[in-house]
Chain A
Amino acid sequence: MTPDDEKEIRFLLRGTQLKKPPVSVLQDYENQVWDRIKNPGVSYSAFPLAAAAFVLALALAGYGFWILNRPLSEAPPPSVLVQSADIPQAVGENAPEAAEIPQAQLDTMARDLLILQWLGEDGGLLEDWDNLPLLIETALPKAL
């Protein structure tokens, strides 16, 4: 970012401003603050519902951690290729010949990656976790 960048942006924004609060929002504003000061405890009317949703979010985060740690902490089973040869072939002539990762497992990994990305979005629970980008990078090749 250079000073010229800033100048150019400011020039382009010269006719634009953040929206002003509507009059209805500003009306009686100070008196309402004083009411809150004199009558503490009245806030966040939607909290009970939100609290339940937040618990759900925490559970999701926990699930994300669990998924995240599982492939990193466990070595892949050495017999995967041998086992895959024993997978019953699908009916018909188009059954895969070589060992492949089952589609269900691929779907699971893709979903796990998506959850991690959600949690790491701006404002997400894992947003400021330093190891998130590294873990997503680690998980990405597995999901592809």
Chain B
Amino acid sequence: MSSPALIELTDTDLIQAFQSGREEAFNSLMARHKEKALQLAWLKTGHWEDAKDISQDAFVKAYHALKDFRGQAKFSTWFYTLVMNTARDYWRRKHPLRWLSWNRQEDMDLFFETLPSAAPRPDRALESRETQARVQRACAGLPERQRLIFSLRFFQDLPLAEIAQILNISEGTVKAGLHFAIQKFKTEFSLPEAKGQVRSSFGRNCPSKEGAK
């Protein structure tokens, strides 16, 4: 387990502690990043057990590589890149013919869930459920790469440059992928335009430009 003192340290401090021989610092890094690493690998594979295998393997690689880590990039970016590369290798080894049958809608629906704290008022419950279903469907309809870009951008709040590094593609490709993902999301969502709403193909639930966070 991580000691309380280590938990308060930044990633950079933890890495320095690890490099100076305190192996327990690696536990803190694991505790801090395992959930996102699991989610990333899961977005790639759709199976938690595979995601666990991948993320743990990535941590093993990180353990050995951290001794030479010089902090040229943020640890999170470096490590999530490692996770994605491991996931890519793993998936190609385990499912080399996956493109014959993947992208099935029933698998994709499982990637997202409604926040427990987002429980709507009773009078809006039905509308909210409909919107959630549309969001789920629209997200599920995205091709794998667009879904990854979309998820890293909107669920993990990562900047485009970091997404590009993690997915090992150019920033331009990320921008293009995000553009197409948003267009496809809009098309899938496709509520009828309501009077008084902002431009939108999103429909009645869209905020005004000023009102949106």
Report if A44 contacts B (CB, 8 A): yes
Residues in B whose Cβ lies below 8 Å from that of A119? 99
Central interface residue in A21, A37, A53, by most chain B CB within 10 Å: A21
Are A25 and B49 within 8 A (Cβ)? yes
**Interface SS of B by simple majority:** helix
A-B contact count (CB 8 A): 157
Say yes or no: A21-B35 contact (C-beta < 8 A), given A46-B94, A51-B93, A123-B144: yes
B114 CB contacts on chain A under 8 angstroms = 15-17
Specify which of B38, B185, B209, B213 is in contact with A21 (CB 8 Å cutoff): B38
Which residue of the partner chain B has the closest CB to A13? B154
Of the listed stretches B3-11, B55-63, B69-77, chain A binds B55-63
Residues of A within 8 A of B91 (CB): 123
Contacting pair B132 A16 (CB below 8 A): yes
Min CB distance B128 to A, Å, is 7
Chain A residue, CB-CB nearest to B207: A11
Contact assessment for A5 and B182 in the assembled complex, using a CB-CB cutoff below 8 Å: yes
Q: Contact between A123 and B155 (Cβ–Cβ < 8 Å)?
A: no
Contacts of A40 in B (CB 8 A): 60
Contact partners of B94 in chain A: CB under 8 A = 44, 46-47, 50
Is the CB–CB distance between B145 and A122 below 8 Å? yes
Closest to A53 in B: B96
Size bracket of the A interface: 35 or more
B96 touches A25 (CB 8 A): no
Contacts of A121 in B (CB 8 A): 99
- Interface presence of A78 (CB below 8 A): no
In the complex, per-residue mask of B114-148: 1 if CB is within 8 Å of any chain A CB, else 0: 11001010000000100110011001000111000
Contact across chains for A16 and B95 when beta carbons are under 8 A apart: no
- A residues 18-73 near B (Cβ < 8 Å) are 18-22, 25-26, 29-30, 32-33, 36-37, 40, 43-44, 46-47, 50-51, 53-54, 56-57
| A56 x B212 contact (CB < 8 A) | no
Name the contact of A7 in the complex, choosing from B120, B156, B213 (C-beta under 8 A). Answer: B213
Asked whether any CB of chain A lies closer than 8 Å to the CB of B178, the reply is: yes
Q: Which of A1, A8, A11, A22 contacts B175 (CB 8 A)?
A: A1
In whole angstroms, what is the CA distance A47 to B92 when docked? 10
A8-B200, A43-B53, A54-B92 as given contacts; A30 in contact with B154, CB under 8 Å: no
- A134 touches B (CB below 8 Å): no
B205 within 8 A of A: yes
* Interface bits B174-213 vs A (CB < 8 Å: 1, else 0): 0100110010010001000000001110100111010011
Q: How far is the CB of B20 from chain A (nearest CB, A)?
A: 18
- Which of the residues A18, A29, A47 comes within 8 Å of B112, measured between beta carbons? A18
In contact, B96 and A1 (Cβ under 8 angstroms): no
Q: Is the CB of B34 within 8 A of A29?
A: yes
Given the complex, which residues of B lie within 8 Å of A11, measured CB to CB? 205-207, 212-213
- Measured CB to CB, the nearest residue on chain B to A121 is B99
User: Can you sample 6 A-B contacts with CB below 8 Å?
Assistant: A9-B154, A15-B118, A16-B114, A25-B48, A50-B93, A118-B100
